[in-house]
Amino acid sequence: MAEISTIARPYALAAFNLAKEKKALEEWSEMLNFLAQVSQDDHIHRLINDSKVSDQDREKTFIKIAAKKLNEYGENLIKLLIEYKRLNVLPEISKAFESLKATDEGILDAEIFVASKPSDQEVDTLVKSLEKKFNKKIDVTVTIDAAIIGGIKVIVGDTVIDASVHEQLKNLAYALKS
């Protein structure tokens, strides 16, 4: 089966292109985020995956719940996702849409993994360094991961900078086996 991000990408791209054309990126961002949250609700998640529920019932229920947040294009997206049995991909569509929007706005998402909580100054210094390296604004998420033991691991788009003690120990073990 195709990876969920591969399935979501064309929907996100189509939504992004339409939103950009209509100058409604923020409206679409909010709408997709809301739809993703609705689709992850336990009751709705069961409804989406219940083979006994008809597509018409799924559509009526989902659109009724989200009616105040949907525009006509959002409603069409829901109908299309239901038709092709892709409603459970909404969270990934929203995530891919946000990524496209950030790239369009010149913002890159970065994940920073550290063994212990860094100071705000350390994070700011690292963000400034990353912004200089990538020549874009960086939106950073810091994750505490004791498994890296020490050091830091940074993921920006497809670029991984792994200066963690865990990775250095793996490299040393590999070198010693050779």
DSSP state of 52: T
Q: Are 150 and 120 in contact (CB under 8 A)?
A: no
Give the whole-number percent of the chain exceeding pLDDT 70. 99
Residue 107 above 90 pLDDT?
A: no
- The topology under which CATH files domain 106-177 is Glutaredoxin (3.40.30)
DSSP 116-167: SPPPHHHHHHHHHHHHHHHTSEEEEEEEE-GGG-SEEEEEETTEEEEEEHHH
The band of 1, judged by pLDDT with boundaries at 50, 70 and 90, is very low
CATH code reported for the domain at 4-102: 1.10.520.20
Residue 18 clears pLDDT 90, i.e. is over it: yes
What would the pLDDT profile of 42-92 be if each residue is shown by its tens digit? 988 898 888 898 999 999 998 999 888 999 999 999 999 999 999 999 999
Residue 136 has pLDDT above 90, yes or no: no
Per CATH, 4-102 and 106-177 having the same topology is answered no
**Looking at the predicted structure, is the pLDDT value of residue 124 above 70?**
yes
Instruction: Kindly list the domain boundaries of the chain, sorted by start residue.
Output: 4-102, 106-177
CA distances for 136 relative to 7, 107, 144, angstroms: 28, 6, 24
CB atoms < 10 A from the CB of 127, how many? 17
CA distance 56 to 114: 48
Structure tokens at 61: 């229920």
The rounded distance, in Å, linking the Cα atoms of 27 and 108 is 20
Q: Which amino acid is residue 11, in one-letter code?
A: Y
- What average pLDDT does the structure give for the chain? 91
Q: pLDDT for 25-47, tens place per residue? A: 999 999 999 999 999 999 888 98
pLDDT at 2: 60
Edge-to-edge order in the sheet of strand 107-114: 137-144, 107-114, 151-156, 159-164
CB 116 within 8 A of CB 144: yes
